Amino acid sequence: MRIDHQLVEQWIEPNSRVLDLGCGDGTLLEHLQKHLGVTGYGLEIDEYKINQAIAKGLNIIEQNLNDGLARFADNSFDTVVMARALQAVKAPDQLLIDMLRVAKEGIVTFPNFAYWQNRMYLGIKGMMPISDTLPHEWYNTPNIHLCTFKDFEQLCDKNNIRILDTVAISDKPNPKLPPVLLNHMVKRIPNLLADVAVYHIAKY
């Protein structure tokens, strides 16, 4: 699994109720069901990925995240997960609020636009960055609200959302640096050195 998916698992309680937004082919939800015994649903808009997830025996609902979560009652779930989809929705602030209406806690991961390689790419080439975490061209990208660690934390503060924990990660660590040193550096300057942000959030 992707490294952010692996980190999500640490904040999910065994046998809890989980809603996975933008679940893709269901890789994360399938893993959580097998290893933690969770129950729940995945929301996805891509028909091909939906068919892949259903083939795994998962409960999948075809839905655009821009339509919100009105179909779910308050506190329907223990945790809502949204992995690398926040930047692709029209109103990320409203979706975050809705996540914490239908669940006690939320887990959000997204590409960090302030990552040093993105800054260098933009600074040297004068063009929108293309990388493993941001693989699309500017004209065909699904990402419409790119943000940084600081942007997200400011958004949480404005909307009375409590940050329980944060993990800053690098999808492709530099092989020339010892892992211990790299992890220490990323933790000290996440907005510059991490290309993926992982947040565990809840209501106050």
Helix (H, G, I), strand (E, B) or coil at 176: coil
pLDDT at 172 exceeding the cut of 90: no
pLDDT of residue 178: 47
Domain regions of the chain by residue span: 1-112+143-171+194-201
**Token pair in block for residue 192:** 């510059």
pLDDT at 175 exceeding the cut of 60: no
Residue with token string 């960055």: 129
Model pLDDT for residues 42-56, shown as the tens digit of each residue: 999 999 999 999 999
Strands 196-203 and 161-169, by their bridges, are: antiparallel
Helix (H, G, I), strand (E, B) or coil at 168: strand
57/128 Cα distance (integer angstroms) = 39
Model pLDDT for residues 93-125, shown as the tens digit of each residue: 999 999 999 999 999 999 999 999 999 999 999
7/81 Cα distance (integer angstroms) = 12
Range 144-149 average pLDDT? 95
pLDDT of residue 169: 85
User: b vs e for 103-132, b when ≥16 Cβ sit within 10 Å of the residue's Cβ?
Assistant: bebbbbbbbbbbbebbeebeeeeeebbeee
CB atoms within 10 A of CB 152: 23
pLDDT at 163 exceeding the cut of 70: yes
Helix (H, G, I), strand (E, B) or coil at 39: strand
pLDDT tier, 3 (very low <50, low <70, confident <90, very high otherwise) = confident
Is residue 199 a contact partner of residue 166, using CB atoms and an 8 Å limit?
Answer: yes
Selected residue with higher pLDDT from 73 and 2: 73
Distance in Å from the first CA to the final CA of the chain: 31
- The reported pTM is 0.90
- CATH classification for the domain delimited by 1-112+143-171+194-201, as one of 3.40.50.150, 3.30.450.20, 3.90.1010.10, 3.30.70.2860: 3.40.50.150
